[in-house]
């Protein structure tokens, strides 16, 4: 029995959790700042969650693009992931090159591409499974 993973679903979940993490972070630190007068910096483990999501999304995109798919879709997956990587690095190192909320654009793009691939990019014949 072979375990069949749906990498599009993994990618959607990972990117969605990443966005929830990014949206929730300011609220957590506002609450923390109101309750304590020191140590307002994020713990290192909280900052590393960004990179965990990047790794998970990389794996999901890697396996998604290994299947027979539209060439333009593969290109957009990787462009979106690279932009997400750079946006995360820019955010981590506070380089202020792009606006703070720019990171949501590539994250939403990855989610949208996974949804598109899941809905419209189905195997047309049985040879599709053997060419994975």
Domain count, the chain: 1
pTM of the model: 0.69
pLDDT of residue 79 exceeding 90, the answer is: yes
Question: In this structure, is residue 2 part of a structural domain?
Answer: no
* Distance separating alpha carbons of residues 42 and 89, to the nearest angstrom: 16
pLDDT for position 77: 94
pLDDT of residue 106 exceeding 60, the answer is: yes
Domain span holding position 22: 7-122
Question: In this structure, is residue 131 part of a structural domain?
Answer: no
pLDDT of residue 60 exceeding 80, the answer is: yes
Question: In this structure, is residue 79 part of a structural domain?
Answer: yes
pLDDT of residue 76 exceeding 90, the answer is: yes
Question: In this structure, is residue 83 part of a structural domain?
Answer: yes
């Amino acid at each position: 029995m072979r375990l069949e993973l749906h990498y599009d679903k993994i990618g959607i979940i990972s990117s969605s959790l990443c966005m929830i993490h990014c949206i929730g972070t300011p609220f957590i630190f506002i609450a923390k700042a109101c309750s304590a007068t020191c140590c307002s910096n994020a713990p290192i483990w909280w900052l590393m969650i960004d990179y965990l999501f990047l790794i998970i999304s990389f794996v999901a995109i890697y396996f998604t693009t290994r299947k027979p798919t539209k060439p333009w879709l593969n290109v957009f997956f990787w462009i979106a992931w690279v932009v997400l990587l750079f946006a995360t690095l820019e955010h981590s190192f506070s380089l202020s090159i792009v606006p703070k909320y720019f990171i949501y654009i590539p994250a939403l793009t990855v989610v949208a591409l996974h949804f598109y691939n899941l809905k419209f990019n189905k195997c047309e014949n049985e040879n599709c499974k053997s060419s994975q």
